[in-house]
Amino acid sequence: MEEQTVQNRAAKLPMLALRGLVVYPNMVLHFDVGRKKSVLALNEAMGSNQLIFLVAQKDIREDEPKDYDLYTVGVVAEVRQILKMPGDSLRVLVEGLYRARLLDILQENPFMTASVEEMPLKAIHTKAQRDTAEALVRTIKDLFEEYAYLTPQMPKDYMLNVMASDDPGYLCEYIAGNLMLKTQDKQSILEESSPIKRLELLVKILENENSVLSIEKDLYDKVKQQVDKNQREYFLREQMKVISSELGEGENLQDEAMEYFSRIEKLHLSKGTEEKLMKEAERLFKMPFNSQEATVIRTYLDTCLDLPWNKVTKDKIDIEKAKKLLDKDHYGLTRVKERILEILAVRKLAPEIKGQIICLVGPPGVGKTSIARSVAAALGRKYARISLGGVRDESDIRGHRKTYIGAMPGRIIDAVIKAGSKNAMILLDEVDKLGHDFRGDPASALLEVLDAEQNKTFRDHYIELEFDISDILFITTANNLGDIPEPLLDRMEIIDLSSYTREEKFHIAKNHLVVKQVKRNGLTAKQVKISDSAIYALIDYYTREAGVRKLERAIAALCRKAAKKIVENNESKIVFTDANITEYLGVHKYRPDSMLKKNEVGVVTGLAWTSVGGEIMMIEVNVVKGNGKIQLTGSLGDVMKESANIAISYIRSKAEKLKIDPDFYKDCDIHIHAPEGAVPKDGPSAGVTMTTALVSALTGVPVRREVAMTGEITLRGRVLPIGGLKEKTMAAYRAGVKTVIVPEENKPDIEEIDETVKKNLNFVFADDADTVLKTALLFATEPDQLLKEPLIHSGVDRNIKPALDTAVITQ
């Protein structure tokens, strides 16, 4: 059956169509055969010279391939072995012998036979061709190496075979035969007769294959990473358990960390936050139980887990109820309560509006803290207080970094933890006492806390996690508006609380403070009675303050004394009156301010405003023969000294009109003094007082003792407005003054003055020094006509008549 030409062998052979398989010469492989035609073809081959023509079919789905379904180039192979497999199929082992072209299909049934002709490879003749082939072989080896790297499961001997061979024909067929390539690609290499073109083809195929494989590998790695991460964490935790139990740090630590894990999980925190906390808990595993660092981590975790991440209370804004609560806890403060209720009403209508911060301003002990606490109670919010007095370091607000020994969270986070809810009410007490130094400015940190834009993601240095404090209601307090840093002030809604009058103090004490202190000291109302006269005595002789803090302390002291007496002497009831109070509290600590006993020359009643409220402040002036010296005593501040000089200048400019010797400043010494010399005083509001005292001393005209005054003076004698009118007039009223001279421009402030005070005082509004002098000095007649001769001594006895011809408002 075999015909052979000199060069090309030709043969008529049984033919087997291959599905998805291309066999090359020199290749030994086995495959399974099931189709009937194929089995018969194999039998035919086995019956003769064991040669068979193997050719790939174009479409593997075709069961009965016709000539046009087959490629035209295949391999003549020798069948080495046939194994019967279960069923009708066979497993054959073949060895490719040579490439052959299908010339004709001789028979289609019962099996196919074909006439074929050998297709030897073209030879490489020239050196150039050889070089090209060698270069291509090298490239192929490199590409194959990369291919092997990308498919780690490839058997090692493939690599060795490839690396060991330099024959282009063999290399091509070996590589194409053993790699998982597309049938089409394998076939195209088989069909190519030029060794160089074949190599080029293989280069292309390998390059393409490598790039696809590397993309596949990337994708695989990514997917694997994701899956691995979860598994890894699980493994690590399990591993840690084993490690720590091996180390004998056993159950405690594991249990502890596991407990942290479950506590963290339960909080359902944001992803970043949870991850960070989990990591910290994991670190706990790696440490000896009692180590310093484990303690630090434990404290840190406890602090973080104590934060009310998801705890909120429901606001219950009922204006009627809130009003009742505020009234129940606080006497008076009508306007303050009204403002608070207005703010609450707005909050009820528009709960989403945030950022407006209430600032309660007033002297100590007037009920700022206690109002704030009532607001929290009225809203049904948790309450915490932060005292900002003396805070000078930014880290007080924001905490210290964990790396510092003894690091702690800042006061904000601390208060949030104490309050225990994410929408608590936090009182920032004494914002005006914030300091700052080289360690940073706490005011700007506070600004961030209060800024609705920024406080959603507040970050404490210690906690190192973002915590939303935008739902927290901040209320601030301050004693002095002027000391609040400007940017903070901009954000605040100011509510003023001013000093209490004697009457108000009395009512607060009687209705609130006594009840509170009696209870706090374990007593009952039946056991102690503090009479009204005793309360007045406490207010007048044992305390001097704007608020009621010291009064409350004095009442507490009385209650303690009573408790002691009841226990020691078995007494059933103690009654305190103004008569017996000295027995318990000692001699009177204060004398109430009072007016001068008589009208004097050179002594004027001024009004001052201090942290304890309003006070009477006398100004005394002596003019004696000398050479123009001016002496100022009584711990006067710079502004007050300037006021004195302004007063002197003004009087010099008006000397003639006032019938004062224009050269008075040359031949006499002036001494101005403000008694209680040890108490520092300052401010411009004693300007009119000094002017009046100077004029009185220089003219010898006495000053009406029942007149008190306040006001700044200019060089032209204009009277400028002052602050603290409410407190100052209260002091005047307390001292028994009848008339107060007030700057014209302070007229609108009259409204704020306490009703009792208003009722009992005459107000004279002055816009220039003339009005002041006319009101305060006891001129015999009009000032310009009064004095023929300047008098430079005090205590002149004259025929005096009051000169109150200016507008006097009687309230």
What residues form the annotated binding site for ATP?
362-369
CA 192, CA 492: separation in Å to the nearest integer? 89
Cβ closest to ligand ADP, residue 72 vs residue 334: 334
What tokens were used for 516? 């509170």
Q: How far is the CB of 501 from ligand ADP (least distance, A)?
A: 12
Q: How many other β-carbons are positioned within 10 Å of the β-carbon of residue 642? A: 13
Taking the least distance from each CB to ligand ADP, the nearer of 331 and 665 is 331
Least distance in angstroms from the C-beta of 427 to ligand ADP: 9
Rounded to a whole number of angstroms, the minimum distance from the CB of residue 329 to ligand ADP is 6
Nearer to ligand ADP, 99 or 385 (CB): 385
How many Cβ atoms from other residues are within 10 Å of residue 646's Cβ? 20
Encoding tokens for residue 367? 């009920």
Nearer to ligand ADP, 512 or 654 (CB): 512
> Among residues 755, 807, 802, 740, which one has the least CA distance to residue 777?
802
The whole-angstrom separation of Cα 21 and Cα 178 is 11
CA atoms in the 13 A half-sphere facing the CB of 188: 13
Give least dist CB 372 to ligand ADP, A: 8
Please report how close the Cβ of residue 375 comes to ligand ADP at its closest, in angstroms.
12
Q: Are 252 and 289 spatial neighbours (Cβ–Cβ below 8 Å)?
A: yes
Helix axes 292-306, 411-419, angle to 10 degrees: 60
Query: Does residue 728 carry a catalytic annotation?
Result: yes
Indicate the residue whose CB is closest to ligand ADP.
367
- DSSP percent split of the chain into helix, strand, coil, nearest 5: 45, 20, 35
**Residue nearer to ligand ADP on the CB measure, 370 or 454:** 370
**How distant, in Å, are the alpha carbons of 361, 428, 479 from that of 355?**
18, 15, 22
> What does DSSP say about strands 762-766 and 739-743: parallel, antiparallel, or unpaired?
parallel
Q: Annotated binding residues, as ranges?
A: 362-369
Compare residues 378 and 708 and give the one whose CB is closer to ligand ADP: 378
In terms of Cβ atoms closer than 10 Å to its own Cβ (0-12, 13-18, 19+), residue 194 is middle
Any residues with CB less than 8 A from the CB of 274 and at least 6 apart, and which? 264, 265, 267
Cis peptide bond N-terminal to 110, omega within 30: yes
> In the complex with ligand ADP, which residue's Cβ is closer, 366 or 413?
366
**At its nearest, how many Å lie between ligand ADP and the CB of residue 466?**
32
- The least distance separating ligand ADP from the CB of residue 551, rounded to whole angstroms, comes to 8
Burial (0-12, 13-18, 19+ Cβ within 10 Å), 655: middle
**CA–CA separation, 646 and 196 (whole Å):** 113
CB closer to ligand ADP out of 57 and 477? 477
> What is the CB-side half-sphere exposure of residue 412 using CA atoms within 13 A?
31
Question: Which letter, b or e, does each residue of 258-276 get, where b requires 16 or more Cβ atoms within 10 Å of its Cβ?
Answer: eebbeebeeeebeeebeeb
- Per the residue annotation, which of 550, 654, 726, 728 is the catalytic one? 728
**Which of 671, 543, 674 has its CA nearest to residue 605?**
674
**Interface residue list for ligand ADP (CB under 6 A):** 330-333, 362, 364-370, 477, 508, 512, 547-549, 552
d(CA 459, CA 170): 70
Minimum CB separation of residue 516 from ligand ADP in Å reads 7
CA distances from 491 to 354, 454, 547 (A): 11, 14, 26
CB of 523 to ligand ADP, least distance (A): 17
Which entry of 244, 395, 643, 685 is annotated as an active-site residue?
685
Q: Which is nearer to ligand ADP, 18 or 508 (CB)?
A: 508
Query: Catalytic: 194?
Result: no
Residue type, 507: H
Instruction: Give the DSSP letter of residue 121.
Output: P
Residues 6+ apart with CB under 8 A from 88: 34, 36, 39
| Gap between the Cα atoms of 70 and 58, Å rounded | 6
Residues identified as active-site: 685, 728
